[in-house]
Amino acid sequence: MVGLSEGEKHFIRGGIAQDLRADGRTRLQFRAVTVETGIIPQANGSARVRMGATEVIASVKAELGKPTILHPGKGKVSIYVDCSPTAAPMFEGRGSEELSAELSVALQRCLLGGKSGAGAAIDLSSLIVIEGKACWDLYIDGLVVSSDGNLLDALAAAIKVALSDTGIPKVNVSLNAETDGEPEFDISDEDFLQFDTSSVPVIVTLTKVGKHYIVDATSEEESQMSSAVSVSVNRLGQICGMTKRGGAGLDPSVIFDMISVAKHVSQRFISLLDSEIAAAEAADAE
Amino acid sequence: MSAAAAASGTYTPAAEAGGKRREKREELRRHLAEDADWPRADGRSIHDCRPAFMQTGPTTAASGSAYAEFGKTKVIVSVFGPRESKKAMLYSDTGRLNCSVSYTTFATGIRGQGLENKEYSGMLHKALEGAVMLHTFPKTTVDVFALVLESGGSDLPIIISCASLALADAGIMMYDLVTSVSVSCLGKNVIIDPTSDEEAWQDGGLMVSYMPTRREITQLTLTGEWSDGKITNAVELCMDACGKLCEILRERLKDTAVLESE
């Protein structure tokens, strides 16, 4: 994937060991993040997030649907990720399938919470219109436009921003005798309900290179990793998802250490994102 | 089936596992005591695993195979190879591991529901690749095919444990056996080796794949909301259970070796 000479590999590993990476960052420093909201007019909410040369787009679409029989009081959320071949030639055809599936599963695991809905980023019961009859189905789609490492963190950040940009139209329900008691929906074009996005977590991936681990790895750095742990943490510092990537095994104590570092770093990342969201919304309003 | 009866054993973790964090565990136990008034449907206590029945060699055509039955969950894994990698593949000086997990259409209560677990193939691969000495068979591929005959909860961890037994049966070089155990978080309780009913109502889930002799975690996934102390306890509980399960796997391999030498 990434062609590196022995010298370059040595340079990257040596830099990480000395806490000075190839682009001048320290181990636990993120690349500059830029955020834009409302970039897709057809969607209910959308966002573009750039982290260095990595660029992703997330869109949120809401459609009226029917709740499942098992969970009549809950709406549905589905998350899918697509890697466009415009980002890298190896994403062409079926090449991106494995990566797309891996990213989708990781995001679902981190954002949708347990089966009972505990720890979910979005309160599913807030999506209900009429219990057992109608609910909002949220379709969250991520697109990788340009890939330079750390796709999972960027996608999770984009989804967080897109959700805070999302407006769900207000629905007026009228019960009509002519239609056999079936409710009629009048979807408002003007009134929108905002989401409570305070519990949407961010994902921090710690990539282990040599003995040390780094945040926000570029693809060159990722090619040197032995393993990586992605931890999703919400504003309260609670962990709501975790995945391990990379083949090499990890000592349990290293994992516990990584979790506590990820918790610490995530709070910094959340406040950074918050200020970016506020700035993006201010720019939108103008 | 007398050998089969002898082959089942439990691998419930010892209460004193992970002595260093015993205090934290006592804290967990206090939490559990507050909310421990619901027995599990199959009569187990929350830290009891289902009896593990494992056997090698159910399929004759494969290089190695294994069958596992944990309560209602029944899994069969066949390992083929090493064989020459497909011509279209790029040259590689390490071997390839090709993992595939499939469900029978009658494995679940609703027909064909097992097809939803598409990500399992990739997760099986990730759990095993750290344990297999891929450099010992360059330019070749080892196929690991898992079939879930009946899904009764904790499917993926059982597939992983069964696959590592099948790999060992096939004589593929490994650093260590990989065993895997999952726990579910239900309210304040952390219950081990959940059944599918328990998984359907869980607040959170955690799966650990572990190499007990090397003391390395090869795969770790977590969903739902967990507090920090709970994660540490749950991971240690899983690791201890993995160690016990590994003993069972080792016994099975020894049994096969004795049978062959006779």
Apex B85 CA angle, B84 and B86, nearest 5? 115
Angle between helices B228-261 and A252-285 (to 10 degrees): 130
DSSP code for B157 = H
Q: Are A202 and A233 in contact (CB under 8 A)?
A: yes
- Helix/strand/coil for A203: strand
A-B C-beta contacts closer than 8 Å: 112
Give the pLDDT confidence score for residue B144 in this predicted structure: 94
Tens place of pLDDT per residue across chain A (286 aa): 567 888 998 999 999 999 898 888 999 999 999 999 888 988 999 999 999 899 999 999 988 888 887 777 888 889 999 888 888 887 877 778 888 888 998 898 888 877 666 667 777 888 888 877 888 888 999 999 988 889 999 999 999 999 988 888 888 777 665 556 566 777 777 777 787 777 888 999 999 998 888 999 998 888 888 889 999 988 888 888 898 887 788 888 898 899 989 998 999 999 988 888 888 888 877 6
Task: Identify the structural domains of chain B with CATH numbers, from first to last.
Answer: 40-84+96-110+117-261 (3.30.230.70)
Distance of CA A240 to the CA centre of its chain: 13
Minimum CA–CA partner of A238 in chain B: B227
Convert the pLDDT of each residue in B121-131 to its tens digit.
888 998 998 89
Confidence of residue B5 (pLDDT cuts 50, 70, 90): very low
CA distance A114 to chain B (A): 4
User: Is the pLDDT score of B73 beyond 50?
Assistant: yes
Residues of chain A contacting residue B218, judged by C-beta atoms under 8 Å apart: 244, 247, 249
Distance of CA B203 to the CA centre of its chain: 21
Task: Say if the Cβ atoms of A242 and B204 lie within 8 Å.
Answer: no
> For A114, which of B205, B211, B221 is closest by C-beta distance?
B205
How far is the C-alpha of B176 from the C-alpha of B179, rounded, in Å? 9
Angle between helices B120-129 and B155-169 (to 10 degrees): 50
Task: Identify the structural domains of chain A with CATH numbers, from first to last.
Answer: 6-285 (3.30.230.70)
Task: Say if the Cβ atoms of A114 and B118 lie within 8 Å.
Answer: no
Tell me which of A80, A226, A244 to substitute to probe the interface with B (most B C-beta atoms closer than 10 Å). Answer: A244
Convert the pLDDT of each residue in B14-54 to its tens digit.
655 545 445 544 554 454 455 554 567 777 888 888 899 99
Give the pLDDT confidence score for residue A91 in this predicted structure: 81
User: Cα-flanking dihedrals φ and ψ of residue A125, to 5°?
Assistant: -70, -15
| Residues near A196 by beta carbon (within 8 Å), at least 6 away in sequence | A123, A126
Task: Say if the Cβ atoms of B224 and A113 lie within 8 Å.
Answer: yes
> For A118, which of B130, B200, B224 is closest by C-beta distance?
B224
Q: Whole-prediction pTM value?
A: 0.84
CA distance A242 to chain B (A): 5
Task: Say if the Cβ atoms of A249 and B224 lie within 8 Å.
Answer: no
Q: Are B71 and B43 in contact (CB under 8 A)?
A: no
- Helix/strand/coil for A277: helix
How far is the C-alpha of A269 from the C-alpha of A264, rounded, in Å? 9
Task: Say if the Cβ atoms of B203 and A256 lie within 8 Å.
Answer: no
> For A238, which of B214, B223, B225 is closest by C-beta distance?
B225
> For A249, which of B216, B235, B239 is closest by C-beta distance?
B216
Residues of chain A contacting residue B219, judged by C-beta atoms under 8 Å apart: 244
Residues of chain A contacting residue B117, judged by C-beta atoms under 8 Å apart: none
